[in-house]
Structure 1
Amino acid sequence: MRSYLNVPAHSERKFKSAQSTSADAILLDLEDGVAPGDKLLARETLSRVLSLSYLAPPRPRIGVRINAVDTLHAGLDMECLAACEVRPDFMVIPMVTSPRDVEIVSTWAGRYGWEPSLCVLIETADGVEAVNSICRESVPALKGVFIGTADYANDIAAFVNEADFTYLRQRVVNAARASRLAVLDAPHFQLSDTIGLKASSDRSFRQGFSGRIALHPDQIDVINRSYSPTEADLKHAREILEAAAATESGIARSRGGMVGPPFYEHSKRIVALAADAASTNEDRNYTRTAI
């Protein structure tokens, strides 16, 4: 999945609107997107909107971001989800600093006969330092890793709109990919900056990220395009695969350069990503028409 539209869980109106967008997933937020005084309302609304999400398939996948596991709100969030007649497709655990955080949520869900797909949000210095063990020790329950630049910037005393977060990005991408997990980039906070969103998303995709969070519906189409192979990418990948099929040595030439097995595997992945993107786009178009 490429685009995750963040929606505050207490807003049924925004959730209904989100279902008609081209987002691959909707992330119902019980954490930062909900003020402390609205937490109870968000939990009360959550069960109702989860049921609504199943009214018009095909639909975006639905996730829920709970509060950090060391807070009182997290326990209340999990009690709410246990009581929901319809459960989300995945859960996001914020402020994760150790594999224990994932184990707590997974153990809790198991008490209700539920094995949710879990994602973690790495957004602190401690989380970055522990990201290898978090990824390695949390499979198979763990399916994806998000990064959070705002809380991370605050934790390391950086400026969120000025730092490039190269260390954070490379550490998390490497750890996630080593455990064969999806890895998702932080949102672009400048909502009207379409050029900056596209540039950072294009760069993020080519650095190994699978997708990113959208904070506004207007960001979704840009994100979906950036995290899908371009026609030029697909053409080049097919040329490399044709060159691979024509050689017996394992090494071939393409566009004047030498290519080998790593290039072939990358090209296969590009072709598969393009097919997945086309299929997902068709489903989303149908959903917009149906609703």
Structure 2
Amino acid sequence: MKFTRYCRSLLSTPAMAVERYARSHQSGADIAMVDLEDSVPPACKEEARQLAGEFFALPSAKLARSAVRINTISGPDGLRDLIAIARYPVKPDLVLIPMTESPRDVEIVAGALGAACPDTEYLAVVETPRGIERAPAIAAAGHRLRGLVFGSADYAFSVGARLSWEALTHARWRVVNSARDAGVEALDSPHFEVSDLDGLRREAALARELGFSGKIAIHPGQLPLINEAFTPDAALLERARRVVEAGRRNGRSVTVVDGVMVGMPFFEASQRLLEQFDTDRADHTNHAGHSDHADRNEDRT
């Protein structure tokens, strides 16, 4: 199983905020997303889905992966979103599927967009008690599903929990474990207090320690901290190279590196780290990681 540098950060931009489209692509986020769901009032949904097509056609869209979050497919707006996306001249790289509660939700989106959007991939947002319970099955829904996204606010409100890290640790762990078992990414929910950069730094560090691939940003000012939290520094990469080299020299048997006993789990973790973030291998890694992911999911079908 390989993890690729796919989504350290995702910046969400309301579909009605057309003046922010280009800045979103230029923000430094790994994924720039236009939102048709929560940030759009009900009366503006149709206008928003028409405007959102421009998000993917801008020249700046080539600077980051471009995504769209649709409305829930259990309602008419979600279905209308899929019809509109299929007609966009330029297709999104990713579609975020909110309120995902079963693999069938992913299958419906894939069926609706498949022929019109053959290269579009999906991220499933798990944010309800049923979604959390079914996260393992959702994560294995198909080879074009690239990750799970934890929706903390909807989940916390639905179970009556506080919107705090401690209260939601178990739900987060289940998202990460389900995603990693399926060989896909895990993206953490936003830190909603935009001006609380210390809180964001703490939450991003905890998310990284738990195994998340990245975190959603709701303001461009949050991106530097998020990208930093999910990017290893030079010293960590250098240590990973030493661990990998020691494993090669010793036939991957137990050995000592920098005074620490290391074995197979250390070798594999260090290799994954280099595959993600060694810039000399970035192009090869992204391609290899995608292929490995597809093969793993196809084996499950």
Partner Cα distance (1:36, 1:140) in 2: 33
Cα deviation digits, residues 67-90 of structure 1 (max 9, x gap): 011011011111111111111001
User: Which deviates the most, 209-218 or 103-112?
Assistant: 103-112
Shift in alpha-carbon separation, 1:8–1:240, aligned structure 2, 3 A: same
**What's 1:118 paired with?**
122
Aligned residues: 277
How high is the TM-score relative to the length of structure 2?
A: 0.86
Matches within 5 A, 1:87-102: 87-102=91-106
**What's 1:86 paired with?**
90
For the pair 1:156 / 2:159, whether they are aligned, the reply is yes
For structure 2, the 5+ residue unaligned runs are: 1-6, 284-301
Letter in 1 for 2:101: T
**What's 2:295 paired with?**
none
Matches within 5 A, 1:245-264: 245-248=248-251, 250-264=253-267
Partner Cα distance (1:128, 1:57) in 2: 32
Matches within 5 A, 1:187-198: 187-198=190-201
What is the identity percentage for the equivalent residue pairs of Structure 1 and Structure 2? 35
- Root mean square deviation of aligned Cα: 2.0
Aligned counterpart for 1:43 among listed residues 49, 58, 69: 49
Aligned counterpart for 1:64 among listed residues 68, 71, 79: 68
Shift in alpha-carbon separation, 1:277–1:222, aligned structure 2, 3 A: farther
For structure 1, the 5+ residue unaligned runs are: 281-291
Offset, 1:273: 2.3
Letter in 1 for 2:79: G
Partner Cα distance (1:277, 1:168) in 2: 36
**What's 2:287 paired with?**
none
Cα deviation digits, residues 149-172 of structure 1 (max 9, x gap): 000001110121464411111111
Shift in alpha-carbon separation, 1:8–1:113, aligned structure 2, 3 A: closer
Partner Cα distance (2:281, 2:219) in 1: 23
Offset, 1:249: 6.7
Partner Cα distance (1:161, 1:21) in 2: 27
Please tell me whether the aligned partners of residues 26 and 60 of structure 2 are also in contact (alpha carbons under 8 angstroms).
Answer: no
Cα deviation digits, residues 83-128 of structure 1 (max 9, x gap): 1111100101000111111111111113536352011000000001
Shift in alpha-carbon separation, 1:134–1:248, aligned structure 2, 3 A: closer
Partner Cα distance (1:164, 1:39) in 2: 33
Aligned counterpart for 2:236 among listed residues 233, 238, 248: 233
